[in-house]
Amino acid sequence: MRMRIFFAWCVLLLSTNVPTSSAGEISPAITKHFDFASQKYGVPKELLLAIAKTESNLNAWAINIQGKGYQLKNKAEALALAQKAFDSGKSFDIGLMQINVWWLKKYNIDLSTALEPQNNVILGAFVLKHEIMRHGLNWKAVASYHTPLSRFPARGRRYAAIVIRKLKTMGRGE
Q: How far does Cα 92 stand from its chain's mean position? A: 14
Query: Are 71 and 112 within 8 A, CB to CB?
Result: no
pTM score, whole prediction: 0.84
On whether the CB atoms of residues 9 and 171 are closer than 8 A, the answer is no
pLDDT of residue 173: 58
pLDDT in tens, the chain (174 residues): 444 434 333 433 333 333 333 333 678 888 999 999 999 999 999 999 999 999 999 999 999 999 999 999 999 999 999 999 999 999 999 999 999 999 999 999 999 999 999 999 999 999 999 999 999 999 999 999 999 898 999 999 999 999 999 999 887 655
Confidence (pLDDT) at 25:
60
Phi, psi of 71 (to 5 degrees): -105, 95
Residue 106: how many CB atoms within 10 A of its CB? 9
pLDDT at 172: 63
